[in-house]
Amino acid sequence: MGLGLGGPERMEPLPTRRGVIASTLAATASGLALGAPADAAPRREGAPPAGPAVRRAAPRPLVVLDPGHGGKDPGTIGAAGTYEKRVVLAAAQEMRRRLEAGGRCRVLMTRTRDVFVPLASRVEFARRNGAALFVSVHADSAPGARGASVYTLSETASDALSAGLARRENAADAAGGLNLPTVPAEVQRILMSLVRQETRQGSVRLAAMTVGALRPRVALLPNTHRQAAFAVLKAPDIPSVLVEIGFLSSRLDEAQLNRSAHRAVVAGALASAVESYLERPGLGMAATG
């Protein structure tokens, strides 16, 4: 399904945490043993025993970077005329270069040029490709605000600034929901609850690591980790954060974001946070995409 995402690579979807849980539930509902593959055929009498299973190396986890806005949607326009869509694309491209150079993950972007991408398509792109993490990059406006900040999903905003940012970002689109397997409604509710709970925990971990990586390098908005109902954070099965790398309504932030050296510092901090998250033990399927 083409999403018009401005030239991201095409790749076959990889097994996700959602898919593994769904397969297990479907097998349970069908009365299959959890430890046996559904299509296993009995060995014919006299046939030689099967050889040892060939283990395939697990693919590196996939990180999807989401530069906000684009095309007909410029995002915030700073006092000096800076377009948000341009500086966040430049920052995301630098972050991509650093992550790929590190070799710990694969990277895709929801847009690689100046095109408009609906919010739902951004989320769907990450889910369809089996993303382990989703990082949306913005540089919004807010009266008196300055410095980087990190947001995770909550239907109740942590403060008025976060609520206002979410309303503006969500104005154009709404995100899609979770595609659940064909199982009884009660099982669907349990599955959705488990997946969402694990995703929220992963998002909070990633946010904490992002704040920690940014803190010694760039100015931060007070109470740096905040919460709001951003549509691009609503993938129920992918830990997601939205990072405001600064506020273009601040002349100081705008001047810094126009400097490639400053964007490189920010991108380096974000890449470091992502790599630290993926290296943490015990992440299970969340880290393997």
For 82-119, what is each residue's pLDDT tens digit? 999 999 999 999 999 999 999 999 999 999 999 999 99
Residues 154 and 227: beta-carbon distance below 8 Å: yes
Tokens linked to 255: 């001047």
Contact 201/284 with Cβ under 8 angstroms? Answer: no
**Statement: residue 153 has pLDDT above 50:** yes
Is the pTM higher than 0.85? no
Digit-coded pLDDT (tens) for 254-271: 999 999 999 999 999 999
Per domain, the residue ranges of the chain are 62-287
pLDDT, mean over the chain: 78
Rg (CA), the chain: 21
Q: Is 236 helix (H, G, I), strand (E, B) or coil?
A: coil
Q: At what angle do helices 260-279 and 84-102 cross, to 10 degrees?
A: 50
pLDDT of residue 273: 97
Question: Does the 62-287 domain belong in CATH 3.40.630.40?
Answer: yes
Three-state DSSP state, 185: helix
DSSP β-ladder status, 133-138 and 220-228: unpaired
Interatomic CA distance for residues 219 and 63, integer angstroms: 25
